[in-house]
Amino acid sequence: MPSEPASATARVSEFVAGFDLATASDLVRARAADLLADTFAVAIAASADEFAHILAPLAEDAAGPSTLLGQGRGGSPGLAALYNGSLAHALEFDDSTLNPVGHPSAVIVPALFALAEQRGASGGALLEAYLAGLEVHSRLGQAEAGGWSAAGAWFPIGHVSLLGAAAACARLLGLDAARTAHALGLAANASGVLAVSGGAAAKPLGAGAAARSGLEAALLAAAGATAPADVLERPQGFADVFLGGSAGLAKALEHIGAPHHLEEVGVALKRYPSCYATHWGVDALLLLVQEHSLAPGDVAAIILDHPVAGAFCDNPDPRDPEAARFSHEYNLAVALLDGVPGPSSYLPERLAAADVREMLGRVRTRNHPSDLAPPKAWEYRVTVTTTSGAALSKAVPRPLGHPRHPMSPADVRAKFFTCVTPSLGEGGAEQLLGLLLGIERLPDMAALSRLLLTIKAAETV
């Protein structure tokens, strides 16, 4: 495979070192603030989840300047990035991208916030660095051959999001292009989250590990650590290992930052705390319920016909919350029973409930026939057979929350308050939302930190 000119790493590094928030449009800055608010919200929700018990040993005897969400105290920046990054991805409720595939903010934001708290950085500096890192994540992800990491072997959180975090932290530290290239190389050296980790605690822990590695790569580069200056494009380098080759780098980086990927393509906010592949079916089912006034007792059977690429979420009998988030069958069953699934829909007791187990028996999934032509072959089509014998069918082109089918401001606000109010109360949630949406005006992270530190040793729900 022909190699791209040895300028890809330099192109990215020069963009990061020279990025200026003043060049970002009002729309890009507002969307970035929304994504920051969403990331904090889902991490706070996870801090009161059973998953937080898994992380508890990491926080024992911790002390430092960077907030550990739900612990009421701080730790070192590296620990905070690991801890909060794992929380941000724990509920599968964090933002998602399809072009490229990925979950950028769960990795980038915890790394940046931990560093910003330590360094006394302003909100504007954090927002600037976030946008730089998000752009690096997105453009490198677009260079993936076939749009998925080396034939699906790697989760993007462990490489493209990791390099996004390293780039963001390098920008916050004010590294020049040469030092930024070393940060990218050091991060590349720590890359790798296996795709087989989906549906297990290993996946969110991988996001936390990537956040920590990205932060530490930037700090080490600032201290003088070195890495290959052409790590992205060199033979057997980052692109060859994780992106299926370097052939797509030049095209993906041609317009880095102009326009910003957030404006050109966008990032999806999730409506449900589950794998994004399940959202098409849930949206279609909820629309059928609404259009035909269906109650659970009216439904005899549900069939989801999906692309072969969606089969990784076929799991008719999930036995823990992580597996349930990656189960088409579970998400359809709980959506019919609960309406819009929220964090409480994936608690162990809900998973074991008699009505859920019974409803799972009514749900089936299957791949589309191999000879079905696009666009039908790309559909997630739900067919409901009612107890009266009627067959009702629907597919949605894009789930609610997709950049081209966004949630309403009221729905975005409702999600934030659903996640945050149990830990901070309505007043605290309102205060936090105001701080995050107005982050560009904050002189430092002190007000955010003070509020977040009031979330102390939350009881798991």
Is the model's pLDDT at 458 over the cut of 70?
A: no
- C-alpha distances out from residue 146 to 158, 251, 393, Å: 18, 14, 30
Beta bridge mates, 98: 101
Strands 299-306 and 363-367: parallel
Collect all residues with Cβ–Cβ distance below 8 Å to 131 and sequence separation of at least 6: 19, 21, 24, 28, 29, 32, 260, 262
Establish if 324 belongs to a structural domain: yes
- C-alpha distances out from residue 301 to 180, 293, 316, 367, 460, Å: 55, 16, 14, 17, 34
Is the model's pLDDT at 58 over the cut of 80?
A: yes
Is the model's pLDDT at 284 over the cut of 80?
A: yes
Residues 267 and 301 in one domain: no
Nearest CA-CA partner of 362 in 286, 283, 304: 304
What CATH number corresponds to the domain at position 300? Answer: 3.30.1330.120
Is the model's pLDDT at 361 over the cut of 90?
A: yes
Establish if 423 belongs to a structural domain: no
Nearest CA-CA partner of 112 in 228, 219, 4, 229: 219
Is the model's pLDDT at 301 over the cut of 80?
A: yes
Establish if 221 belongs to a structural domain: yes
Asked if 66 and 77 touch (Cβ cutoff 8 Å), the reply is: yes
**Beta carbons within 10 angstroms of residue 388's beta carbon:** 7
Residues 323 and 191 in one domain: no
Cα within 13 Å of Cα(461), Cβ side:
16
**pLDDT tens-place string over residues 264-274:** 999 999 999 99
Most confident of 58-72, 97-111, 163-177: 163-177
Residue 457 pLDDT grade (very low, low, confident, very high; cuts 50, 70, 90): low
- Of 346, 376, 395, which residue is a domain's last? 395
Residues 257 and 344 in one domain: no
Amino acid 154: pLDDT: 87
Amino acid 459: pLDDT: 45
Asked if 401 and 269 touch (Cβ cutoff 8 Å), the reply is: yes
pTM given for the model: 0.94
> Which structural domain, as residue segments, surrounds residue 247?
8-271+432-452
Amino acid 65: pLDDT: 96
Establish if 407 belongs to a structural domain: no
What CATH number corresponds to the domain at position 159? Answer: 1.10.4100.10
**Total tally of structural domains belonging to the chain:** 2
Residues 232 and 295 in one domain: no
3-state secondary structure of 308: helix
Residues 197 and 283 in one domain: no
Residues 167 and 313 in one domain: no
Distance of CA 326 to the CA centre of its chain: 14
Residues 167 and 280 in one domain: no
Residues 281 and 350 in one domain: yes
Q: How many residues does the chain have?
A: 461
- Quickly tell me which residue has 């059928």 as its tokens: 288
Amino acid 199: pLDDT: 82
Residues 364 and 320 in one domain: yes
Nearest CA-CA partner of 209 in 168, 155, 157, 273: 157
User: What average pLDDT does range 336-363 have in this prediction?
Assistant: 96
Is the model's pLDDT at 299 over the cut of 70?
A: yes
Residues 437 and 301 in one domain: no
- In eight-state DSSP terms, residue 122 is -
Residues 295 and 267 in one domain: no
Establish if 448 belongs to a structural domain: yes
Q: Which helix (H) or strand (E) holds 391?
A: strand 391-395
Determine the Cα–Cα distance for residues 431 and 30; give it in Å rounded to an integer. Answer: 18
Asked if 135 and 267 touch (Cβ cutoff 8 Å), the reply is: no
Establish if 417 belongs to a structural domain: no
Establish if 412 belongs to a structural domain: no
- Of 349, 367, 395, which residue is a domain's last? 395
Asked if 399 and 405 touch (Cβ cutoff 8 Å), the reply is: yes
Is the model's pLDDT at 170 over the cut of 70?
A: yes
**pLDDT tens-place string over residues 238-282:** 999 999 888 899 999 998 999 999 999 999 999 999 999 999 999
Is the model's pLDDT at 196 over the cut of 90?
A: no
Residue 61 pLDDT grade (very low, low, confident, very high; cuts 50, 70, 90): confident
User: What average pLDDT does range 350-368 have in this prediction?
Assistant: 97
Beta bridge mates, 101: 98
Asked if 41 and 179 touch (Cβ cutoff 8 Å), the reply is: no
- Amino acid, single-letter form, for residue 231: V
Residues 344 and 259 in one domain: no
Establish if 405 belongs to a structural domain: no
